Structure 1
C-alpha cells in the first residue's frame, strides 16, 4: 500500500480535511485497474511528461499522493503536477503538502508546478491537461455567498488570524454544491472538454448518489463521438446520498 501524504501542517478550521472521498480517490488512482489504464496511456518514455491538474485541491493530499507516487501510478517519474483552489489558504497548505511528499519519497523527477488561487479551471490553458482530478463540493446544500469572497480569502488588515465567520465560509466552499449537489460540478464538467489534451486526456470526478451519477455519465457520452464515462471506484453499498463513486472520463480515438 502506498503511503498517504502528511497533512499535519494544515489548519482544518478553514481548509477541507481529508475524508472518505479523498481516500477513495487515492485508492482508485492506485488500484490495479487504473494504474494499468494510465500506464498504457502514458507508457511511451519519449513522450512529453503527463500534466496532472487537481481542481479544488484542498489540503493537497490527493495531488501530493499522485506527485509522490508517479512511478507506481503512471509507470514513469517525469510527471508534472498543478492545482487550483478558490480558497487561498488551501493553496498555501496544498503547496507544502505536495512539496513535502515529493521530498519524502525522493522522487526528484516529479515536478510540482504550483497551486493557483482561482475559480475551477478558468486559469488553465486549453487542451493542456493530461490527467484531471476533481473532488467537488457535492453536498446538496445552499451555495456560499461569493460577494465577500475577496475579503474572506485573506487575513484582514490588522488581524493575526481568520474569524469564525471567515472559516465557516471557506469550509462551505469545499462542500456545498447547490441543487442536487451539482451546481459547481456542472460548471466544471462544461470546462472538461476544453482543458483535456486531445489525445491522452483523462478525467477523474467524484460524485455522490444524489448527484445522479448514471445521468451524469449518460450526459458525458452525449458530448460527441468517442467520449466515454465509466464508474471506476466506489465507496461500497451505503444507502442514501453519501454513497460515493469515481467516474473516469476519456475520449477514445475515432
Structure 2
C-alpha cells in the first residue's frame, strides 16, 4: 500500500479535510488498472518530456502530494512536475507544505507551485498531462463571492480568521450550486483547452446527484475521440453509487 501524505499541519477550520472523496481518488489512481493505463500513456519509452500533473481545488494537498510522492508507482516515472490551484489562499499555503514534504520524503518529483486563483484560468493551453479535480459537488447554494477578497486572508490587525471567514472558506470546498454542477460545468468548459490533446488524462469526482451518466455523455459529445468512463466508485445508498471517479481522455484519430 502506498503511503498517504501527512496533513497534520493543516488547519481544517478553513481548509477542506480529506474525507471519503479524497481517499477514493487515492485508491482509484493507484489501482492496478489505472496505473497500467497511466504507465502505458506516460512511460519514458514513449516520451522524454516530463508529465505535468495539475490538481484544481487542491485543498489540503493530500491528493496532489500522493501522486507526486508516488509518481514511480503511479506513472511509471519519477520526473513528474506537479502544480495545484485553489481559490482559498489558506488551502494554497497548506497544500504547498503537504506536497513539499511528500516529495522530500518519498520521491524526486518536481513541485512547481500552488497558485491562488480561479480554477484553471491561469494555465497554459494544452499543457496538462494529468488533471485531477475533486470539485464542490454538493447541491447547495453557492457562497457569496462578494466577500472573497476580504475573507481570503487574515484581516489587518488580527491574528486569526473569524468564524464567518472560516465558514465561507469551507463553503467554497463543498457548495456546488444547482445539482452541484455549477463549478464543475465551468471547469469542464476549460478542460479541452488545457489538457494535452495527445496524452492528457483527467480524473473528475462526481456524486450521484450530479448525474454522472449524463456528464459522461456530454464529454463524449465534445467531438471525435473524447472518452469518459467511470473508473472508481464508493459504496451505495438507496441503490446509487454515492461517488464516482470519471476518467476523461482523448483517443487518437484512426
TM range (shorter): over 0.9
- Asked if the contact 1:91/1:117 (under 8 Å) is kept, the reply is yes
For residue 15 of structure 1, what is the aligned residue in structure 2? 15
TM-score (ref. length: structure 2) = 0.97
TM-score (norm 1): 0.97
For 1:99, the equivalent position in structure 2 comes to: 100
Asked whether the 8 Å contact 1:208–1:241 carries over to 2, the reply is no
Shift of 1:103: 1.2
Distance 1:27 1:138 in 2: 19
Matching of residue 136 in structure 1 with residue 138 in structure 2: no
Aligned length: 252
Q: Distance in 1 between matches of 2:153 and 2:252?
A: 45
**Structure 2 partner of 1:61:** 62
Partners in 2 of 1:131 and 1:119 — Cα distance?
18
Superposition pairs for residues 42-53 of structure 1, below 5 Å? 42-45=42-45, 46-53=47-54
Residue aligned with 1:197, SS: coil
The question of 1:41 aligning with 2:41 is answered yes
Quote the Cα distance in structure 2 between the aligned partners of 1:241 and 1:94.
Answer: 32
Which residue of 2 is the match for residue 27 of structure 1? Answer: 27
Corresponding residue for residue 71 of structure 2: 70
Quote how far apart the aligned CAs of 1:241 are: 7.4
C-alpha distance in 2 between matches for 1:188 and 1:241: 25
Q: In 2, distance between residues paired with 1:236 and 1:215?
A: 20
Q: Deviations over 1:89-147 (max 9, x none)?
A: 00000000000111121x12x00000000000000001100000000000000000101
Report the equivalent of 1:158.
Answer: 157
Partner Cα separation in structure 2 for residue 162 and residue 182 of structure 1: 29
**Secondary structure at the counterpart of residue 33 of structure 1:** helix
**Structure 2 segments unaligned to the other structure (5+ residues):** none
TM-fit CA distance, 1:237: 2.1
Unaligned runs of 5+ in 1: none
- The CA deviation string for residues 127-185 of structure 1, in whole angstroms up to 9 with x for no partner, is 10000000000000000010110000000100000000000000000000000000000
* SS at structure 1 position matched to 2:237: coil
Task: Say what the alpha-carbon RMSD is for the aligned residues.
Answer: 1.0
Q: 1:232 and 2:227 equivalent?
A: no
**Structure 2 equivalent of residue 79 of structure 1:** 80
* d(CA) in 2 for partners of 1:42, 1:78: 11
Instruction: Provide the secondary structure at the position in 2 that maps to 1:114.
Output: strand
Q: Is the 8 A contact 1:134 1:206 kept in 2?
A: yes
Q: Distance between the aligned counterparts of 1:52 and 1:30, measured in 2?
A: 15
Q: Identify the residue that residue 184 of structure 2 maps to in structure 1.
A: 185
